[in-house]
Amino acid sequence: MPESYRKRGFFGPNTAVAREIAQLDAVADCQRIVHLLTAYEFAWDFERALELALFYTYGSAPISQLLDKTGEFRKQGQKRYDDTKLLITHFMQGGWDGEEGRRALARMNRTHGHYRIDQDDFIFTLWTFIALPLRWAGNWSPRAMTAHERSAWFNFWLEIGRRMNIRDIPQTPAAYEAWIVDYKRRTFIPSDASARVATDTVRIIEGWLPAPLRRLAAPAIYSLFDDDPQFLAAIKAPRPPDWLRPVVERALKSLAVLRRHVVLGAYPVLIKTQESRTYGERACAIEALAPERILSAERCKEGN
């Protein structure tokens, strides 16, 4: 990617980033725009939002049944989480034209090829990566995304979907939302598999917290979805108490006000400078970001 930016005045976000985004084309330059959004403007926000996007896929009974059958979140949950995060970050920051972005998409497609996944489930999962970051930015970020940024974000993910060989993706936000309503009507059905995978994922998040706070993880997560009873019912989650969401939102919005003026941590946030709980500081080869069972099968096939 071209120019990089430094903090303004040693601690503030650089307003030149947003100015560059505004001058770019939402279609032709969507890769650069997404890089700037994920590395500078919404780095922390999009990481949280994509965690919620992954969690939201569990509302779909067929997706949860597959995830529950593989047992990856139960057996190697942190690795499964880190592998997914790293692959997505590679092509968000490097684009599909960059070497690492191309390799990450190839690794993802190769992994998916080991399973029988319905096209509708792919379309739904792709939508979560579009919609949940937009929702987070509108509610809990230092600023909302502009219409121009939302358009570029949508165009970026449409092309990612094409490069994942997903067919019949709705081509406008309105058409996509209408499609999602019908998909949820068909698949957001209370399911033991959905409940198990959600519980397995909550255990991963609990592991990130000090022991006294772990019991708060599940209700705090569920509180961010308490405006979507259809989802909570699908994963068989108890509805959180009415007072909890305002408390969580106040905390997130207070943090957003601080981050509007102060950059906490690295700037830009780049995958090469980030640690993961599974791999620590060491970089993991993109081609190794897959379940061990799949990697073993591929090694055996290559050896024959």
User: What's the CA gap between 207 and 214, in Å, rounded?
Assistant: 8
Q: Which two tokens stand for residue 28?
A: 């032709």
Q: What is the pLDDT of residue 283?
A: 74
**Average pLDDT score over residue span 200-228:** 94
Averaged pLDDT of the chain? 94
Q: What percent of the chain has pLDDT over 90?
A: 87
Give the least confident one: 123-127, 153-157, 290-294. 290-294
pLDDT value of position 274: 81
| Chain-centroid distance, C-alpha 212 | 27
Reference 253, options 224, 225, 216, 231; nearest CA is: 224
pLDDT in tens, 247-266: 999 999 999 999 999 998 89
Per-residue pLDDT tens for 177-207?
999 999 999 999 999 999 999 999 999 999 9
Whether the per-residue pLDDT at 282 is higher than 80: the answer is no
In our burial notation (b when 16+ CB lie closer than 10 A, e otherwise), range 172-193 reads eeeebeebbeebbeebbbebeb
**Entry field: residues in the chain:** 304
Query: If DSSP codes are grouped into helix, strand and coil, which group holds residue 146?
Result: coil
Angle between helices 119-140 and 43-56 (to 10 degrees): 140
Distance CA 203, CA 9 (A): 40
Closest by CA position to 36, among listed 89, 91, 93: 93
33 phi/psi in degrees, rounded to 5: -60, -45
The alpha-carbon radius of gyration of the chain (Å, integer) is 19
Question: pLDDT tens across 36-50, in order?
Answer: 999 999 999 999 999
